[in-house]
Amino acid sequence: MNNDHPEVKFGKTGVLIINLGTPDSTNWWDIRKYLKEFLSDRRVIEVNPFIWKIILHLFILTFRPSKTAHAYKKIWRQETNESPLLYFTKSQAKKLNEKIGNDNLIVDFAMRYGNPSIKSRLNALKTNGCENIIILPLYPQYAAATTATVCDEVYRSLMQMRWQPSLQIVPHYESEPLYIEALVNSIENKLKVIDWKPDLIISSYHGIPKSYFDKGDPYHCYCHKTTRLMKEKFDKIDIQTTFQSRFGPQEWLTPYTDKTIESLPEKGVKNLLVICPGFASDCVETLEEINIQGKESFLEKGGINFELIPCLNDNLEHIKLFEKLVKKYI
C-alpha cells in the first residue's frame, strides 16, 4: 500500500445556517463592497443586466453607501464591533452546536453576501471531514430573492469541488408550529413589560417587487399564512400584515409598512406594537428602519406609544426550532 496518500478526514455531518449578510464595518468602502455584491445578484434585481449595471455603478454605488452607512452606525454593536445580524447569527450557530454538536456533527454559519462567505464555510466543513452537509437558510418564508439565491450560491460552490458532499436543504418553515409558538410567545412577553395596551399589532415582512409575485413567487402567500397562524393562536389584539424596505420606483407588495404606520394615528390607532416575523435576527431593517424611522414617523403623526418586538434572535425557543428543522436530516 502506498503510504504517501494524504490524510483525508471523512464521516462527519455539517450544519450550515445562512442569513442574508452584513458589511464588515460602517466605513464607506465596506458598505459599498457589500451593496455591490448584494445588488448585483440577478435574483434580487430582475431587470436588464446591462442597464442595471450602469445604474448601479454610476448612481447607486456612488450615493447609496453614505446613506446606508448612516443607518448602520445607529445600530452597530460598538462593544463587539459588528452588526447585530452578525452577532446574533454567530450566537445562533454556537447555541445550536451546543445542543446538537458532537465529534461527528459540526455547526457553522455563513452569509449570502459579505463574510463569512458560503464558499469559505462549505470548504471549511468539507476540509473537517463533513461528507453530508445540511443547509438551513434563515428565511421562514421562501422567496426567490432569499432562499433560492442561497441555494444558487451553495450549488456554485459545490461545482468547484472534486469530491462533493451530499447535500440537504431545509425548506421554508413559515407554518412550523414551534415557529408560530415562538412568535406568539414573543408578543406575550412584550405585553408583560409594557404598561399600555396596543390598539394594533403590525406584522411587517420584507417586501419584494409586485412583479416577482406576478411571476409566481410564493413569498406573499407565505407571509400572510404566518400572520394567519399567529392570529389563530393570539386573538387579544388584531394583527395586520404589511411589507417594508421597498427599493426603487416600481410597485412592491402592499400595504407598505411605512405608509401604514404614518396613517394609523389619524385612524385612532395611538398605541402600536410591531413584530417582524420574516427576520431571524434583528438587523438594520428592524432596528433602524422600524424602531427608529418607523417610531419617529408614528409619533410625529400623533401616535402615543410604539414598541418593536425583538426578533427571535438567539433565544432558546428559536434554537429549539432550528434543532427540530435540522434533525430531520441527520
177-308 matches 12-172+317-327 in CATH topology? yes
Query: How much of the chain, in percent, has pLDDT values that exceed 90?
Result: 97
State yes or no: pLDDT of 244 exceeds 80.
yes
State yes or no: pLDDT of 129 exceeds 70.
yes
The confidence score (pLDDT) of residue 182 equals 98
Q: How far apart are CA 156 and CA 326, in angstroms?
A: 22
- Correct CATH for 177-308 of 3.40.50.1400, 3.40.50.2300, 3.40.140.10, 3.40.190.10: 3.40.50.1400
The confidence score (pLDDT) of residue 48 equals 96
State yes or no: pLDDT of 1 exceeds 70.
no
pLDDT tens for 190-241 read: 999 999 999 999 999 999 999 999 999 999 999 999 999 999 999 999 999 9
Q: How far apart are CA 165 and CA 133, in angstroms?
A: 7
More confident residue, 2 or 212: 212
Query: What is the chain's Cα-based Rg?
Result: 21
Nearest residue to 130 via CA among 155, 160, 161, 151? 161
Average pLDDT, integer, range 77-101: 97
The confidence score (pLDDT) of residue 101 equals 94
Report residue 308 as a C-alpha cell: 418593536
Q: Cβ(91)–Cβ(72) under 8 Å?
A: no
Per-domain boundaries in the chain? 12-172+317-327, 177-308
Backbone angles phi, psi at 174, to 5 degrees: -65, -20
Q: How many C-alpha atoms does 263 have within 13 Å on its Cβ side?
A: 8
pLDDT tens for 139-161 read: 999 999 999 999 999 999 999 99
The confidence score (pLDDT) of residue 10 equals 86
What stretches of 139-228 adopt beta strand conformation (E)? 166-169, 200-206
* Fold assignment, 12-172+317-327: Rossmann fold (3.40.50)
